[in-house]
Amino acid sequence: MKISFNWIKKYVYPINFYEKKFFEILSNIGLTIKNYEKIYDKDNKKDFILNIEFTPNRHDIMSHYGIARDIYAFLKFNNYNISIKELKLYKNSYKTCIKNNVSIFLEEKLKKNNFFIRYTGASILNLKIDSSPYWLTHSLKSIGINSVNNIIDIINYTISELGVPIHLFDLDKIIENKIFIKNLNKKNNFLTENNNLIKLDENEIIISDKQEILSLGGVLNNGKYGCIDKNTNNIFIGIICIDPSYIYLIRKKYLFNTKSQFLLEKEIDPNKTIYVLNRLFFLIKKIMKINCEISKIIDIYPNRLKPIIIKLNYDKISKIIGEKIKKKDIKKILLLLKVYINKEEKNYLLVSIPTCRTDIKREIDLIEEILRIYGISNIKGIDNINYVPINYNLCTTENEIQKIISEQLTYYGFKEIISSTIRNYNEKELFELNKLNRKIIKIINSNIDIYNNKILRPTMLFSMVDCIIYNYNHNRHLIKDNGIKLFEIGKIYYNNNNCYIESKKLILSVSEIQKNYKILDFFYLKGIIEQIFKRIGINDYIQKNLEHSFLENCLSILYKKKLLVIIGKIKNIYTNNYEIFYSEWDWEYIISIIINNKIIYKPISKYPIIKRDISFIIDDNISFEELNNFIKNEKNEIIKNIYIYDLYRGKNIPISKKSYTISFYFESKKTTLTKNFIDTYMKKIEIILKKRFLIEIRNKKLI
């Protein structure tokens, strides 16, 4: 976000220090200056435009006046003789204001909807749309906003000043002056202010008149109704407060970026809307060359946001900061931050947090704010520091391995989840768990029936299924093109022969919402597993079919005759008929393998690799694992790699048969392999496969 040094100085005065000191103060209060530039106005007056990076939780300072308040608090506490300007507001008296000629109707179910918070608006009549005065156009231009007309400019100025998005509609175009805030009852086309036609889904929160959609969520407006020109006489101005999670969802769904969306997504203070409108009306009155009329404000606020109450312990402040701060200094900082002290006791304060500070939810958050204004540089160091040294030999090896595997999975598009270790299980699930010799471990918390008790998870499979089904039901629009790819590293707990087991697992899962084509399937997941094996140095493994209580077409992968990984499709009875492919790894075994692996370096051959494919028909009862293990055993110095990459059943293949295609990669360390040599070698491979599996070579006709 761009801010103007001179703009800040309008609010905090007198600032007698140079810009470098100002930059230092911004850093002290936690604002990062990405870069800055020097500009001049028509009178050759210098200004500095700063590009500032904010932490996402500090929406209260995403404006010029918000930053000014923070600077004032810091400077005032540090004994600067400084003042902050109180903004002038329009006195919206019920005696002097005209009656609002607009009626606003809020759909009943939105009053109970957690997404909708507040809507505030008013009409302005008898406007004269004209060019803006120089001070306004220059202020906007300095932060990269082009001038449009006096009304649009003053709205943009107020948004930059106070950080609250404002929208407007041409009042004369609204049918019967009636505005409805509601859920869209069916899919509908919507023309944005950028003339982009998008199709809105059912149940989106919209602002509309009797016929047309005026705005999607108050952040994406209809170009027809929001267009203000010289022919505009009357407008309606509104501010909407909607839950940031909803704004995020519609932005992702409809792929747009606006200033309003940015601010609403960061969360604004709903208790500030009337204040912002009265500031805007004051500025409109200031720049209007004729006397316009402003109506009474309509305010719909079904569930008022109340301040959070926090108990602030003096001893906790000293313990966290590492230094005892005077009580009077603590109270001074709180008052400068507009934190109201409800009650004061010897050892603690009971305080109310202003609703604009949604980042302060706990005592520790408030202590952090006290330290920020007090100044880290004012904390004195101590000579002796007591600490317990970390035994790096015990912990960092596994951490590094976990980091490598997690980064590789993230590179492949997987997202990590962290699920609860406690879950309820039904009778069917518990019966199947007993087959796996994983008897449950109950949490003793009540005397109700065992199946309703909380149980420590004996498998992570159901946690993964719960997460995938939730995303199918709630985020379908986000995953429909890419599917779901998830992983988790966590622990399971079970009783095996009266011995309590705590075991760590890595689980992977892929699932695809589009059922008309298959990409995220068994073979995709197996390919991911093989790539990770290759990365961590696991090569000589064996694959076997496995009967599993929760998986069908299950395959086990063994390393040195010990089970390492299982992979299969989760049975539909546990997945609401969604196709979910699942893999579970023995994490402790993986770690031990990697730690004990010796790294062997071999020089890269300077001779080229040659690839040859062979396609053949084989009996359908011969398993993939049997064929795969046999082919792997045929590797030698000449055959570098072997991959089975295609399986086909269908046209031109007998019912009791199937077709495989295998790729062989040949490489020599000593010489370039000739065509005749490779042809001879491939003939030997055909003879071996015919002898072992009675295969029939498929001859592909060139077209």
What pLDDT digit, counting tens, does each position of 2-22 carry? 999 999 999 998 888 788 888
**Res 194: pLDDT:** 77
**Res 449: pLDDT:** 44
**Please, which pLDDT band fits residue 417 given cuts at 50, 70 and 90?**
very high
Last-in-domain residue among 84, 116, 150: 84
Please tell me the distance from the alpha carbon of residue 323 to that of residue 314, in angstroms, as a whole number. 11
| CATH code of 622's domain | 3.30.70.380
Summarised one tens digit per residue, pLDDT across range 486-510 is 999 999 998 888 888 899 999 999 9
- In order of 165, 196, 213, 609, the CA distances from 258 in angstroms are 10, 14, 18, 53
Find the range with the poorest average confidence among 179-183, 308-312, 394-398, 524-528. 394-398
Mean of pLDDT over the chain: 85
Same domain, residue pair 564 and 438: yes
**Please, which pLDDT band fits residue 31 given cuts at 50, 70 and 90?**
confident
* Other residues' Cβ atoms within 10 Å of the Cβ of residue 649: 11
Same domain, residue pair 141 and 255: yes
The residue whose two tokens read 């969360």 is: 267
Reply yes or no on whether the pLDDT at 701 is more than 60. Answer: no
Residue 91 lies in a domain: no
* 441 strand-pairing partners: 456
Q: Which of 265, 278, 218 is nearest to 88 (CA)?
A: 278
Residue 98 lies in a domain: no
Reply yes or no on whether the pLDDT at 261 is more than 80. Answer: no
Please tell me the distance from the alpha carbon of residue 474 to that of residue 513, in angstroms, as a whole number. 13
- Phi/psi at 187 (nearest 5 deg)? -60, 140
**Residue 177 class from Cβ within 10 Å (0-12 exposed, 13-18 middle, 19+ buried)?**
middle
Same domain, residue pair 211 and 336: no
Instruction: Looking at mean pLDDT, say which of 191-205, 317-331, 424-438 comes out highest.
Output: 317-331
Nearby residues of 250 by Cβ (< 8 Å), 6 or more positions away: 204, 216, 217, 219, 220
* Other residues' Cβ atoms within 10 Å of the Cβ of residue 609: 12
Residue 540 lies in a domain: yes
Last-in-domain residue among 84, 113, 147: 84
Same domain, residue pair 476 and 553: yes
Nearby residues of 680 by Cβ (< 8 Å), 6 or more positions away: none
Same domain, residue pair 126 and 251: yes
Residue 602 lies in a domain: no
Please tell me the distance from the alpha carbon of residue 133 to that of residue 123, in angstroms, as a whole number. 23
- In order of 9, 124, 129, the CA distances from 289 in angstroms are 27, 14, 10
What is the average per-residue pLDDT within 38-59? 88
Same domain, residue pair 107 and 188: yes
**Please, which pLDDT band fits residue 264 given cuts at 50, 70 and 90?**
confident
What is the average per-residue pLDDT within 124-132? 91
Find the range with the poorest average confidence among 20-34, 286-300, 443-457, 677-691. 443-457
**Please, which pLDDT band fits residue 606 given cuts at 50, 70 and 90?**
confident
**Res 95: pLDDT:** 54
Reply yes or no on whether the pLDDT at 419 is more than 60. Answer: yes
Reply yes or no on whether the pLDDT at 515 is more than 50. Answer: yes
Please tell me the distance from the alpha carbon of residue 334 to that of residue 433, in angstroms, as a whole number. 56
Same domain, residue pair 359 and 269: no
What is the average per-residue pLDDT within 239-264? 84
**Please, which pLDDT band fits residue 73 given cuts at 50, 70 and 90?**
very high
Reply yes or no on whether the pLDDT at 586 is more than 90. Answer: yes
| CATH code of 24's domain | 3.30.56.10
Last-in-domain residue among 344, 376, 408: 376
Instruction: Identify the residue with better confidence: 40 or 698.
Output: 40
| CATH code of 197's domain | 3.50.40.10
Please tell me the distance from the alpha carbon of residue 53 to that of residue 91, in angstroms, as a whole number. 35
**Res 313: pLDDT:** 94
State the total domains in the chain.
5
Find the range with the poorest average confidence among 6-10, 48-52, 645-649. 645-649
Q: What percent of the chain has pLDDT over 90?
A: 39
**Res 600: pLDDT:** 64
Same domain, residue pair 248 and 144: yes
Same domain, residue pair 452 and 567: yes
| Full residue range of the structural domain in which residue 327 is found | 312-376
Residue 307 lies in a domain: no
Residue 332 lies in a domain: yes
Please tell me the distance from the alpha carbon of residue 34 to that of residue 50, in angstroms, as a whole number. 8
- Phi/psi at 274 (nearest 5 deg)? -65, -40
Reply yes or no on whether the pLDDT at 451 is more than 50. Answer: no
Pairing relation of β-strands 205-208 and 213-216?
Answer: antiparallel
Reply yes or no on whether the pLDDT at 223 is more than 50. Answer: yes
- In order of 653, 657, 695, the CA distances from 691 in angstroms are 21, 17, 8
Same domain, residue pair 295 and 317: no
User: Which two tokens mark 135?
Assistant: 């001070």
SS3 state of residue 261: helix
Q: Is the dihedral of CA 247, 249, 254, 256 positive or negative?
A: positive
Residue 199 lies in a domain: yes
Reply yes or no on whether the pLDDT at 253 is more than 50. Answer: yes
Pairing relation of β-strands 415-416 and 484-496?
Answer: parallel
Please tell me the distance from the alpha carbon of residue 186 to that of residue 546, in angstroms, as a whole number. 48
What is the average per-residue pLDDT within 374-396? 58
Residue 306 lies in a domain: no
Reply yes or no on whether the pLDDT at 59 is more than 70. Answer: yes
**Res 513: pLDDT:** 65
What is the average per-residue pLDDT within 122-126? 92
Reply yes or no on whether the pLDDT at 198 is more than 50. Answer: yes
Nearby residues of 538 by Cβ (< 8 Å), 6 or more positions away: 559, 564, 593
Reply yes or no on whether the pLDDT at 447 is more than 50. Answer: no
* Other residues' Cβ atoms within 10 Å of the Cβ of residue 171: 21
Find the range with the poorest average confidence among 69-83, 141-155, 241-255. 241-255
**Res 76: pLDDT:** 93
**Res 518: pLDDT:** 55
What is the average per-residue pLDDT within 136-146? 93
| CATH code of 577's domain | 3.30.930.10
What is the average per-residue pLDDT within 296-306? 91
What is the average per-residue pLDDT within 229-246? 90
Same domain, residue pair 408 and 455: yes
Same domain, residue pair 109 and 152: yes
**Res 390: pLDDT:** 38
**Res 453: pLDDT:** 53
Q: b vs e for 304-332, b when ≥16 Cβ sit within 10 Å of the residue's Cβ?
A: eeebbebebebebbeeebeeebeeeebeb
The residue whose two tokens read 């407008």 is: 235
What is the average per-residue pLDDT within 672-700? 86
User: Residue 21 in contact with residue 27, Cβ under 8 Å?
Assistant: no
Summarised one tens digit per residue, pLDDT across range 336-363 is 999 999 999 999 999 999 999 988 999 9
Reply yes or no on whether the pLDDT at 387 is more than 60. Answer: no
